[in-house]
Chains A and B, each alone.
Chain A
Amino acid sequence: MEMLQNKHSVCIAPVQVVDMATLMRYVNSSRMGHRSIALNCSASVARAFGVAAGKPLPAKVKIVEVGPRDGLQNEKTVVPAEVKIRLIDMLSEAGLPVIEATSFVSPKWVPQMADQVEVMQGIHKKPGVNYPVLTPNLKGFQAAVKAGAQEVAIFGAASELFSKKNINCSVEESLQRFEEVTKAAKEQGVLVRGYVSCVLGCPYEGKVSPEKVAQVAKRLYAMGCYEISLGDTIGVGTPGGMGEMLEAVKREVPVDALAVHCHDTYGQALANILVALQMGITVVDSSIAGLGGCPYAQGASGNVATEDVVYMLHGLGIQTGVDLHKLMDAGAFICQFLNRRTSSKVAQASCKL
């Protein structure tokens, strides 16, 4: 069994647990010719070893709700502050532990977030719940803290072209800006969450190397981000790519400090999240009602729906602290205001449209 378990480990995390002696015992064993491992490592093998069903999953997962910021930012209809506040309060009541409330980017670029101060000051901050806000630079950070923010988020990218097109500077320049933010945040006791965009593909560069993602994640973690959320910005990732990318990042950042932010543009989000859970990730970003389309594909979907994620997690026996019914109420509320259909399949199936 020890050999078999090592074989299992080899499949998942070859770098950490390759035990050469055990590996070679396996290679030389009569059970399988050596060629068979690489070329014929089929499902029957996995089944014979009984590994797949036994992949350990976390007992708890923290959901980071990004709907009010990431979601609404990508909706065309400008939502008044009181509706945003009501939405965030409903999400707090639903038991979400982290709710991204707004963004301190210049309203010139993101008119949807122009009411940032009003929202920040208007929401009922439930004890035990975090309300991070996006801050692209030191100026945004200062405004956020002035408005009462106790946690901020900074967005890096694993793609140079995406960084230039999105925030008008190179990845290195952006990291230097963020260092100013993390330094100030440390001094003021403010938590910082880091994001890495384009971890599984870039709308401009196409493929993105897992090593590049790992480098950016490592920099953000080293400068003081308590958590790094790895974003499949255009939703092109599939489970194989998610696994490879996480393997690379886990070599540089502890898995407890990692989160996944999967977009459902190609319907792959839940499968990608499942693989991430199997690899030890315990923090998942999602958006109520799947708010927020894909800015690179007009009409296509974007963020994965929180309801669908919670449904899967609860079905897996994983605790989230979230009340799915209250969550669906919040989704129904915002969709009604936006006069749009929910992107959540769970909500559709439950007739909470």
Chain B
Amino acid sequence: MGNIPSAVKHCLSYETLAQDYPWLVRWLQEEKFGAICEFPKTVKIVEVGPRDGLQNEKMADHVDVLKGITKSPHVKYPVLTPNLHGYQAAVEAGASEVAVFGSASETFSKKNINCSIEESMLRFKEVISSAKQADIPVRGYVSCALGCPYEGDVEPAKVTEVAKMLYDLGCYEVSLGDTIGVGTPKSMAKVLQSVMKEVPSSALAVHCHDTYGQALANILIALQMGISVVDSSVAGLGGCPYAPGASGNVSTEDVVYMLHGMGIETGVNLSKVINAGEFICQALNRRTNSKVAQAKSCHCVP
């Protein structure tokens, strides 16, 4: 019978079941039984390295960049637009998707973009309204979803409020950011439980920072809870502006390695991402933050 669990073998009706439901036999024998049942089949990776990553390393000339890249069909190239002025410049430069950044912390909002959360939403409303007219999708971000460098703990209810505002204004997707990487799977689960009451999980993403090494564990719990969009940065570009010397964004290579290892499709070619990471690290004269890239470059036997 092969590798059928003994509990099933002893079931008197097993043979009948096997006859009537051959898929059940295959299912029980399926190696990745547990994994398939718990996680999404595919995950969309949102690569933030060129913007979020490089912003913390070096800032290139955004117009030149947007005009210079070869845009692959079926690939999206969102750009950050803090206000209507930025939005108009982006559209003029050829942007076909934009992103707006809200915050779940008032202090962070004031320190980072010099206005309250409410004021920022008014600005975003203008952007989203214009984008809607031009048929340009808008992605929303919520910073400090799991903690704030100024306020400390952030209430999940506040994260939910801001996420809902962005979603209701018209963002097709809202990415919840652990801006300083302090979150752990428990706080991630709490926030997601709260937000998912107001925003469908299919419209949510997680943007985990790896400052305290927690990113992959946090992403794992998010996947278990139904999230299927993950932000990451090639080579883990972008340190943490609130902890000099510490890491920031989680590495795309490490995320993809985990997802592929779990049998989750991403459509991403890991070797090519590693190559892209090597390229940019060489240009920046810095070591990659990706453990997968480090291991591969050290010619680890596997």
A→B interface (CB under 8 Å): 10-12, 14-18, 20, 24, 27, 34-35, 37-38, 40-47, 52-53, 55, 201, 203-204, 206, 234-241, 243-244, 247, 264-268, 270-271, 273-275, 294, 296-301, 305, 308, 311-312, 314-317, 344-346, 348-351, 353
Contact = CB atoms under 8 A, between A and B. Distances in A.
A240 B34 contact: yes
B291 A266 contact: yes
Which has the most chain B C-beta neighbours within 10 Å: A14, A18, A247, A305? A14
B135 to A, nearest CB: 28
Contacts, number: 225
A46 B246 contact: no
Contact of A267 (B8, B40, B223, B291): B291
A16 B262 contact: no
A53 B189 contact: yes
A14 B192 CA distance: 27
A24 B20 CA distance: 11
B246 A345 contact: yes
B263 interface: yes
9 closest residue pairs by CB, A with B:
A315-B184, A238-B261, A297-B300, A267-B291, A345-B213, A240-B35, A43-B226, A47-B226, A52-B224
Given A46-B38, A348-B245, A38 B26 contact: yes
Nearest to A274: B217
A106 B139 CA distance: 60
A16 B192 CA distance: 30
B39 A43 contact: yes
Which has the most chain A C-beta neighbours within 10 Å: B40, B227, B290? B40
B258 A300 contact: no
A238 B299 contact: no
A244 B214 contact: no
B13 interface: yes
B215 to A, nearest CB: 8
Interface of B: 5-8, 11, 13-14, 17, 21, 23-24, 26-28, 30-41, 181, 183-187, 189, 192-193, 196, 201-202, 210-214, 216-217, 219-221, 223-228, 240, 243-247, 251, 254, 257-258, 260-263, 290-292, 294-295, 297-302
Contact of B226 (A10, A46, A244): A46
11 contacts: A43-B39, A52-B38, A52-B224, A239-B35, A240-B34, A268-B216, A299-B297, A314-B184, A345-B210, A349-B211, A349-B246
B261 A47 contact: no
Contact of A43 (B8, B13, B201, B258): B201
A31 B295 CA distance: 45
Given A11-B38, A43-B40, A345-B210, A18 B7 contact: yes
A268 B40 CA distance: 18
A267 B251 contact: yes
Contacts of A351: 243-245
A353 B212 CA distance: 13
A47 B294 contact: no
B291 A300 contact: yes
Given A308-B212, A345-B213, A203 B301 contact: yes
A300 B294 contact: yes
Given A271-B220, A273-B217, A345-B211, 18 more contacts: A41-B38, A46-B38, A52-B189, A52-B225, A53-B189, A201-B302, A236-B302, A239-B220, A268-B216, A268-B257, A271-B216, A297-B295, A297-B301, A300-B300, A312-B217, A315-B185, A345-B246, A349-B247
